Structure 1
Amino acid sequence: MQKLKSEELNRPSVEEFKDQEKLPVVVVLDNVRSMHNVGSVFRTADGFSVSKIVLCGITAQPPHREIEKTALGATQSVDWEYAAETCAAMAELRLQGYKILAIEQAQGSVMLNAYLPLPKEKYALVFGNEVNGVSDEVMAAVDGCIEIPQFGTKHSFNIVISAGIVLWDFFSKLRLDTGRS
């Protein structure tokens, strides 16, 4: 078996990416402190063609070389905006028709494997701070909560791992699971 060369991957240009159909998902970063995590979320969002990223509170914004170390140019392809307050950003997304879901361990959460996103729905997925998770204020304002099942001794995944798991799950259920309508 031989790896494909970059030119064999048929990747879209940034312009082509901007024009292609997007996953109906917005990623909301609620006070994410690590610029490497921010950059990695950009790169993951590019890989799954999400609609945009909303950077909230203390979450760093491009351009910044620490974000670019892990984003590898994805800050150019993925649309993003900044909001000082996460709840205000969520209120605006709700007005635009998005269902707001926290990715968190919480009372009444739905396990990711059991959650079935609807093809005609738009989703805003809120990922929280590396230490404190999604803030209590934000949790009080979400429409629901999804939890990633875990089986080890640690109580959480890194935000980038969580984003990758959840975005893959939404992508596979909304774009690859052709048996659903």
Structure 2
Amino acid sequence: MRKLGMDELNRKSVNAFRESEKTPIVVVLDNIRSMHNVGSVFRTADAFLIQAIYLCGYTPQPPHRDIHKTALGATETVEWVYFGSAAEAVGELKSRGYAVFAVEQAEGSVSLPEFSGRFSGPLAVVFGNEVSGVSEEALALCDGGIEIPQWGMKHSLNISIAAGIVLWELVRVRAATPGGADE
């Protein structure tokens, strides 16, 4: 086995990325503190051709060197929009026909494996603050919650890890569905 060289990875140019058909998923970041977490979510969104990221509240916005440090250029490819609050972003998404789900351990949340095949249309997932989670105002507007199964003592994940798990599962299931990304 050998590692593939950069020229063998068939990476898209910035223009090719922008012109590519996107996965109809929007990521909403609700008052994320860490610029490194924001950059990491940008990088994950780029990897899965996610439609857009909505940065809300005091979530840091590009350009910033600490976001760029983990995004590695993904702030140039992934569309992003700023909103004063996640509740405002959720309202805008719902008015455009998106189903909106909080990634949160909440009453009535559905396990990610159970949820992942339910919605094939436009979908938005809200990730909350590293300490307090999704704001109560945004949570009240969501169509439901998604919970990542966990069996250890902590029962919490870093937001960038949670985003990677959720986005991979949602994209994987869509790609495996007839008419999905694999066709």
Structure-1-length-normalised TM-score: 0.96
Over 3 Å counting, the alpha-carbon distance change for 1:157 and 1:19 in structure 2 is: same
Counterpart residue identity of residue 56, structure 1: C
Q: SS state of the match for residue 124, structure 2? A: strand
Deviations 1:154-180 (A, max 9, x none): 020000110000000000111134498
Residues 117 and 174 in structure 1, CA contact (< 8 A), matched pair in contact too: no
SS at match of 2:141: coil
The count of corresponding residues between Structure 1 and Structure 2 is 179
What residue is the counterpart of 1:43 in the other structure?
43
Report the alpha carbon displacement of residue 111 of structure 1 after superposing the two structures with TM.
Answer: 0.2
The residue that corresponds to 2:66 in the other structure is: 66
The aligned residue for residue 21 of structure 2 is: 21
Tell me how far apart the structure 2 counterparts of residues 95 and 179 of structure 1 sit (CA, whole Å): 26
Q: Alignment partner of 2:131: what SS? A: coil
Runs of 4+ in 1 over 4 A off after TM superposition: none
Taking the TM superposition and a 5 Å limit, the aligned residue runs for 1:84-163 are 84-115=84-115, 116-119=117-120, 121-163=121-163
Alpha-carbon distance between aligned partners in 2 of 1:9 and 1:179, rounded to the nearest angstrom: 25
Query: Considering only aligned residues, what root-mean-square deviation do their CA atoms show, in Å?
Result: 1.2
Q: Distance in 1 between matches of 2:98 and 2:80?
A: 16
- Tell me the secondary structure at the aligned position of residue 53 of structure 2: strand
Distance in 2 (CA, whole Å) between partners of 1:117 and 1:104 is 18
TM-score normalised to structure 2 length: 0.95
Amino acid across the alignment from 1:6: M
Structure 2 partner of 1:30: 30
Cα separation, 1, equivalents of 2:72 and 2:90: 28
Partner of 1:12: 12
State how far apart, in whole Å, the 2-side matches of 1:131 and 1:50 are. Answer: 25
CA distance, structure 1, for counterparts of residue 56 and residue 68 of structure 2: 18
**How far does residue 15 in structure 1 lie from its aligned partner after superposition?**
0.5
Distance 2:33 2:118 in 1: 29
Match of 2:83 in 1: 83
Range that drifts further, 27-36 or 130-139: 130-139
Do the aligned residues in 2 keep the contact of 1:117 with 1:170 (CA within 8 Å)? no
Unaligned runs of 5+ in 1: none
Counterpart AA for 1:81: V
Q: Deviations over 1:111-155 (max 9, x none)?
A: 001112332x10110000000111111111101100000000002
- Partners of 1:117 and 1:15 lie apart in 2 by 32
- Percent identical pairs in the alignment equals 56
Whole-Å separation in 2 of the counterparts to 1:176 and 1:10: 22
